Structure 1
Amino acid sequence: MNRRTFLKSIFSLSASAGLCGISYFAEAQEVARAVEEKDLKNYLHRMANFDTPQPGDIILKDQELKLLKSSLSRLRRVQRTVGFGNFCVLSFDDALKFGRNYSSIGKFSKQELEFLDKTFHFDAHDYGFLGEKPVDKLTASISRKELVKIPRTGNFLFRGDPHKKYLKIRKELGKKVYLTSGVRGVSKQFILFLAKAEANGGNLSLASRSLAPPGYSYHGVGDFDVGEKGLGAANFSARFAETGTCIKLREHGYLQLRYPENNLLGVRFEPWHIKV
């Protein structure tokens, strides 16, 4: 029985036994509180060790793991063909077209398509990812007219508030801050999520603690990541929180974080993620 069902049953019993006196209800509350505290401790342990397999993780095996690897490999071939920047905003349907039209990529098989469809529509809450799903269609596309390409980054931002916010950050913080990840379509999020899962033996729950599953990323609707020049891959680690850039972002009020420290969304702390 999961925590929510357990708590519901506890309070249901205490309500139905109301005539027996207050002591029963008080005892039920104590039991419920103990369950919540235990669950919270377990949750915080998982998040403190987000990159380590945990009991209850959903891990693909056998045929599904093979399909993950073959689908990821084909998506990577699409990415190499269209270029990394263009792939960030490539729709899923267009990725399939490139597979059909380029022998160097190869057509996505029926089994791969079924796997990708299942992965997109899977309820990420079962992974432990409790964020919302801002992109609910596998075939969602992004119009190039809505985008601005940011020079020397290989990334795009949506016109309007996201682009204005980035320009304001650059103006106030200087050229040491730069865009590390902008708009991501469904295809790009597939690559990131599946690559993390593949690197960890098909562990989808572990992947979801670091990367939003396809459809669940706010990069698809406006959010973006920034980093400090010279820090490299560490811009996506806890080290970024100690940089002068991150300190200035906080001082200027830009760190209204999508995934703050010790959040209860099942996602690691992301001080580099700018919420729009």
Structure 2
Amino acid sequence: MNLHRRKFLSVLSATGLILGGCRTAYKPSGQAGPVEVAESGNEVFTYSNPLAGLDDEAIRDQLEQAVKPAPVKPTDVQLDAGQMSLLKQSVAHLEKVQKLVGHGNFALLGFDQMLRYARNYPAVGEFSPAELEFFEWIFETDARQYGFMGEKVISRLNENIKDHATIKVPYTGNYLYRDESLHLYRRLQKDVGEELVLTSGIRGVVKQLYLFLAKAVETQGDLALASRSLAPPGYSFHGIGDFDVGKRNLGYANFTAEFADTDVFERLVQLGYVDIRYTNGNKLGVRYEPWHIKVI
């Protein structure tokens, strides 16, 4: 058994979050039949089958999380009730950190910094061993096991973003890296016009962890389903340079395929030098994201 999974399960067992009885587990796509992974007499899930013109970052996050991903597939596996309890607890705890530091700062927050805030501010409180093991398990699990086929671009959970390498973009609540990302965004603003707006910039590991887990709550613990609309932590190119754009005042539709029908997107395509990270029909297990600008 994978070391991280063993540690995670042992903590769940110690905290009473593993339910009694056995649960069905599934092999990866193309391998028939159930697979038993024993831990204290229980079976555990493995994951299978690949399957914004907004100034307020809080509103932007709510809209992003409201986007409906692709339908559930028969082979999708959901976390059980005990794991769901820990998932919801962890998301609520991360929300306390975000409320304390602010949405903009939360996007740049490192994992070790988050732990220091939690220790030092009673309004947040320390993260429990079960939560920390859960975060590690989510980060270290190979996302291909549940259908996300993208590249892992950040290898360490405690990877930090250097403040001097970033700049806050006025009137957006978002940050960009000062090098290629900022240069490309300014070029797009000049070539497309004022209707183009930055809707999401840098997302550190903590921010991506929070967004992914919040999406997993929304999908009732189906990590495969969550990963079709939000990259798992460590797999998001927002952590190393990519950014999202939209059309001013388009709101929610900036995070749907409807953005591809706008004049702003048409002008982006006509420029000839813009690449979209997740194209229509991509083989990465990710929905079409016409707003996601590829930088790296």
Whether TM-score is above 0.5 comes out as yes
Task: Give the whole-Å Cα distance in 1 for the aligned partners of 2:252 and 2:145.
Answer: 29
Contact map agreement 2:203 2:238 (CA 8 A) in 1: yes
Instruction: Tell me how large the CA RMSD over aligned residues is.
Output: 1.8
Q: 1:143 aligned to 154, 162, 168, which one?
A: 162
Q: 1:179 aligned to 189, 198, 209, which one?
A: 198
Task: Give the whole-Å Cα distance in 2 for the aligned partners of 1:120 and 1:3.
Answer: 21
Of all paired residues, the percent bearing the same amino acid is 48
Task: Give the whole-Å Cα distance in 2 for the aligned partners of 1:141 and 1:3.
Answer: 35
**1:268 is the counterpart of 2:287:** yes
Compare CA radii of gyration and give the structure with the larger one: 1
Task: Give the whole-Å Cα distance in 2 for the aligned partners of 1:199 and 1:266.
Answer: 18
Contact map agreement 2:97 2:118 (CA 8 A) in 1: yes
**1:249 is the counterpart of 2:268:** yes
CA shift, 1:230, in A, is 0.8
Q: Which has the higher helix share?
A: 1
Task: Give the whole-Å Cα distance in 2 for the aligned partners of 1:152 and 1:3.
Answer: 45
Q: In the TM superposition, what whole-angstrom CA distance separates every residue of 1:151-192 from its partner, at most 9, and x where no partner exists?
A: 000100001111000000001111110110000000100111
In structure 1, the residue matched to 2:210 is 191
Q: In the TM superposition, what whole-angstrom CA distance separates every residue of 1:25-59 from its partner, at most 9, and x where no partner exists?
A: xxxxxxxxxxxxxxx9x95xxxxx94321112131
Task: Give the whole-Å Cα distance in 2 for the aligned partners of 1:206 and 1:2.
Answer: 15
Alignment of 1:1-276 (within 5 A): 50-276=69-295
- Figure out how many residues of one structure are paired with residues of the other and give that number: 237
Contact map agreement 1:153 1:180 (CA 8 A) in 2: yes
TM-score relative to the length of structure 2: 0.77
In structure 2, the residue matched to 1:18 is none
Q: State the AA in 2 paired with 1:125.
A: R
Contact map agreement 1:64 1:115 (CA 8 A) in 2: no
Contact map agreement 2:153 2:236 (CA 8 A) in 1: yes
Q: In the TM superposition, what whole-angstrom CA distance separates every residue of 1:126-175 from its partner, at most 9, and x where no partner exists?
A: 11000000001000000100001100001000011110000000011111
Which structure 1 residue ranges, 5 or more long, are not aligned? 7-39, 44-48
